[in-house]
Amino acid sequence: MKKNGLLLFIVVSTFAACKKNDTVKPPVIAKVDTLAKAITTSLTLDAATSYVIDGQVFVKNNATLTIPAGITISFVKYDDRTLKSSLIITQGSKLVVNGTADMPVLFTSAAVTKAPGDWGAIVIQGKAPTNVVTGYSAGLTISDDTKFGGTDIHDNSGSINYLRLEYCGGINPDAENEWIVDKVSGLSLEGVGDATSLDHVMVVHSNDDGFQFVGGNVTATHLIGYNNGDDDFDFDLGYQGKLQFLVSYRTELTSTHALRANGFESYNDEIPTSKAPLTRPVASNLTIIGPQGIETSKTNLNMGVYIRKGTRFVVENSIVAEYPQGGLMVCNKTRPILLAAVESFFKYNLVNSDSVSRTFSWDKDYAVIGDPALQAFALNNVNNNTLINAANDLLLKDMYGANGPDLTPTTGSAALTGANFDGADYSVFFTKVAYRGAIGTDNNWAAPSKWAVWK
């Protein structure tokens, strides 16, 4: 009894001491806030809060929305395409995303079970030139809050670093009319000037396009489009910016809603006309990879690079592989421009297709044909492109890794050397590297990480 009584005394004393000296902390409840539909004064979000966008949120009145590292913004799902939740940065306003490699900013669906098309887009509207002078964001109600375009090539719409977008692209209808400008999707940059900066942005599982460059001349580096339902990189209405280190990658299409999905598609306007500025993206160090397997398994996929409707373009030092209709396709309006070798250039690239005979193709009168004349032009000793008969011959480290691709060139790969940055188009902005494609041997910036999530 004495022993038991002593034990009881020790237990009670110990409990009393804990009660007296230790404060039991309540559970931490994450703060959640819903953004107002109109942000009219500059606002910096709270790094300790998660945010919700319910419907269309407009940043206007020259306000700046600043998003610190690590924040998640969830977009409420609506089935009605006209109600899709979106964030719109109006002319004169700015979006500043201060993500880091370890603490990226995430824009995602608020649905419990997330799916492509749950929400709409991030739309940034600037004052840089377009070939329609003033345009209005397709798919949004026409108003002063949805217009873009102007005369300021150095317009500044903010800066974006280490951002990932998931499950957007819900505004475009299925089987959309591919002969007109797409409705806003993914990250839509409309009339955005070159004082705006974009670096390390990934768009994942969009139901439609990943990145849209509509007019303007914004520059960008380190962009990834992954398993999007339509084009990963889409250019329209007079875009004339510079781009380097881009990855377009698919293991599958996330939807079959698009008629033809391409890695890189450039377009001038609907007619097409020769209205200035003409669409002319200048790009280097792209890696464009379609799904592994035979052509018949790639429904609704089309081209690695598709140049159409009067556009001009420059694509050099890049890798294109595993698309069923070819690595490069031109149309009746763009083929003569490329063959003239004055305004359009396709040089120093490694090019593969499921069908070797269609690696260089012509979309002639709506029928895709292999184009021997285009192939001979591409492979001549001026353009120095290389036809790659099988994707494995690229010797990339792990093109279809279970946890995400490793697109690093290995020993013996033609991608390790051969890049060329001669010419006026590459005299400024570009980092001059020896390798072709988006990834070198010393910095696999697209490796699985907290920012680059391959799932």
Structural domain boundaries in the chain: 31-426
Residue 278 dihedral angles phi and psi, to the nearest 5°: -80, 140
- Beta-carbon neighbour count of residue 401 at 10 Å? 13
List the chain pLDDT tens, one digit each, 455 residues. Answer: 333 443 333 333 433 444 444 566 655 557 999 999 999 999 999 999 999 999 999 999 999 999 999 999 999 999 999 999 999 999 999 999 999 999 999 999 999 999 999 999 999 999 999 999 899 999 999 999 999 999 999 999 999 999 999 999 999 887 666 666 789 999 999 999 999 999 999 999 999 999 999 999 999 999 999 999 999 999 999 999 999 999 999 997 666 666 678 999 998 877 777 888 999 999 999 999 999 987 777 777 889 999 988 899 999 999 999 998 899 999 999 999 999 999 999 999 999 999 999 999 998 887 888 999 999 999 999 999 999 999 999 999 999 999 999 999 999 999 999 999 999 999 999 999 999 999 999 999 999 999 999 99
271: alpha, beta or left? (left if phi > 0; alpha if psi -120 to 50): alpha
Fold exhibited by the domain 31-426: Pectate Lyase C-like (2.160.20)
Which tokens hold the place of 13? 């004393």
